[in-house]
C-alpha cells in the first residue's frame, strides 16, 4: 500500500493528471493515499519490509504535504499546481528516491476503487 502511494507521488505530473482523471478524484487524493500508507512506515521497518533508510525522505514528503495543507496553500491542490508547484516537484523527487532505494523504481500506478 505504501509503495503504491509513493508510486503515485513519484509519477510525473502528466501521469498524475491522467490517474486523477481516470478515477475522477482531486489532487489531494494523492496526498491522502500517501498519508494512509505513511502511517504504516514504522511498522513496515520493524517487520523488515521497508528499509530504515527511506524513513527520512518519507517524513519529508509528509512534511511537504502538511505544509501545503495550511490555509494559504489552497492553490497548491489544483491540477495545474501538479506541474508548477515546487512542493509537488520536491515530493516527486523524494518519492522517486524511495522507490529506487526499495527496488521499485518501475512501480506502476495503482488501480483504486472509489466508493461514492
User: Could you read off the pLDDT of 42-99 as tens digits, one per residue?
Assistant: 999 999 999 999 999 999 999 999 999 988 878 999 999 999 999 999 999 999 999 9
- Find the mean pLDDT for residues 6-11: 98
In a domain, 108, yes or no: no
Structural domain tally of the chain? Answer: 1
In a domain, 92, yes or no: yes
Residue 113 has pLDDT above 80, yes or no: no
In a domain, 114, yes or no: no
In a domain, 10, yes or no: yes
**Nearest Cα residue to 7 out of 87, 94, 82, 73:** 94
The model's pTM: 0.94
Q: How long is the chain?
A: 116
Residue 5 has pLDDT above 90, yes or no: yes
In a domain, 85, yes or no: yes
In a domain, 75, yes or no: yes
In a domain, 87, yes or no: yes
Q: CA–CA separation, 76 vs 55, rounded Å?
A: 24
Q: Which residue has the cell 520493524?
A: 46
In a domain, 71, yes or no: yes
Residue 46's domain comprises 2-101
Amino acid at each position: 500500500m505504501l509503495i503504491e502511494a509513493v508510486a503515485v507521488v513519484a509519477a510525473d505530473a502528466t501521469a498524475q493528471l491522467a490517474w486523477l482523471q481516470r478515477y475522477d478524484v482531486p489532487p489531494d487524493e494523492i496526498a491522502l493515499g500517501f498519508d494512509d500508507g505513511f502511517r504504516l512506515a514504522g511498522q513496515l521497518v520493524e517487520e523488515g519490509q521497508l528499509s530504515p533508510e527511506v524513513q527520512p525522505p518519507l517524513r519529508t514528503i509528509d512534511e511537504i504535504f502538511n505544509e501545503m495543507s495550511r490555509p494559504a496553500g489552497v492553490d497548491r491542490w489544483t491540477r495545474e499546481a501538479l506541474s508548477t508547484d515546487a512542493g509537488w516537484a520536491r515530493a516527486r523527487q523524494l518519492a522517486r528516491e524511495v522507490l529506487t532505494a526499495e527496488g521499485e523504481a518501475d512501480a506502476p500506478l495503482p488501480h483504486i476503487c472509489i466508493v461514492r
